Amino acid sequence: MSTREINIAPDITALSRMGADEVVRCAKESIAARGGFTIALSGGSTPQGAHALLAEYKDLPWNKVHIFFGDDRHVPPDDKDSNYRAARESLLSKINIPPENVHRIKTELDAQEAAQQYEQELNTFFQLPAGEWPRLDLIMLGMGPDGHTASLFPGTAALNENSRWVVANRVEKLKTWRITFTFPLINHATEILYLVNGDDKAQVLKDVLENPDKNLYPTQRVQPVNGKMLWVIEKGAARLLNDLK
Ligand code: 6PG
């Protein structure tokens, strides 16, 4: 059984606090229940504030946390566009986490190789029987103004990938390759946390949340198989939403 909860934040600062607090709540719950916590960070600008606040939780047993990435750009890890670099600067460099607990997508490789290597890294970590999907405790996601999520952009091949966990995805409009989790991997998470900020996303977000059956945007295909979906939405991005109960 899956649940959906929507929380509106008055501004990006409050969104960041709400996002960080939810990650910590989920981490403590997972560590208490199973002795560890697996999280995939999302890219873009919105989560950076939450990452920075997470770095303040020094009492979190970071040695029991494993950090993955839901996607990354096909650029070197020290490139200004790298999601890994952004997370390293906002969070990873500030916490006492064993290096082997940070699972970076090796974007310096050929895009297809990077995707295959990451899929193998997930496989080695989760040690699952063939055919079983890894179930991350928490996957953080954002949504672009075109309704993309992770690196699952409208009109791209990865939207139709239903058997692989991670793929290289050509995003023609950006003239670039991305490496991304696929929908089934995302949808098997125990919890999906969306952080959405920005007036420019209001109409698409309204369609995503209020017209789910229309399947207009990639974000609408994020539907947990058996998990919780929590939306933390900044007021501007939420301005067109009906009074959601
Ligand atoms: C990326 C992200 C992407 C991001 C959205 C929203 O690599 O850019 O994975 O899906 O979450 O583009 O980005 P903003 O939060 O910066 O608007």
Task: Confirm if 144 and 42 have CB atoms less than 8 A apart.
Answer: no
Reference 106, options 149, 44, 53, 168; nearest CA is 168
Using one digit for the tens of pLDDT, what is the confidence trace for 231-242?
Answer: 999 999 999 999
β-bridge partners, 198: none
Residue to probe by mutation, ligand 1, list 15, 42, 176, most atoms within 8 Å of CB: 42
pLDDT value of residue 133:
97
Reference 169, options 161, 157, 160; nearest CA is 157
Percent of the chain with pLDDT over 70: 99
Domains of the chain: 3-244 (3.40.50.1360)
pLDDT, average across residues 122-128: 97
Distance between CA atoms of 114 and 186, rounded to whole angstroms?
A: 18
130 CA to centre of ligand 1 in angstroms: 31
Q: What is residue 117's DSSP assignment?
A: H
33 CA to centre of ligand 1 in angstroms: 31
β-bridge partners, 108: none
Using one digit for the tens of pLDDT, what is the confidence trace for 2-55?
Answer: 889 999 999 999 999 999 999 999 999 999 999 999 999 999 999 999 999 999
> What is the chain's length?
245
Buried b / exposed e across 178-206, counting CB within 10 Å, b at 16+?
A: bbbbbbebbbbbbbbbbbbbbeebbebbb
pLDDT value of residue 189:
98
Residue to probe by mutation, ligand 1, list 12, 143, 197, 231, most atoms within 8 Å of CB: 143
Distance between CA atoms of 205 and 196, rounded to whole angstroms?
A: 9
Does the beta carbon of 48 lie inside 6 Å of ligand 1?
Answer: no
Using one digit for the tens of pLDDT, what is the confidence trace for 141-191?
Answer: 999 999 999 999 999 999 999 999 999 999 999 999 999 999 999 999 999
In the β-sheet with 166-171, what is the strand arrangement from edge to edge?
A: 71-73, 176-181, 166-171
For 48, other C-beta atoms within 10 Å of its C-beta total: 19
Distance between CA atoms of 8 and 73, rounded to whole angstroms?
A: 29
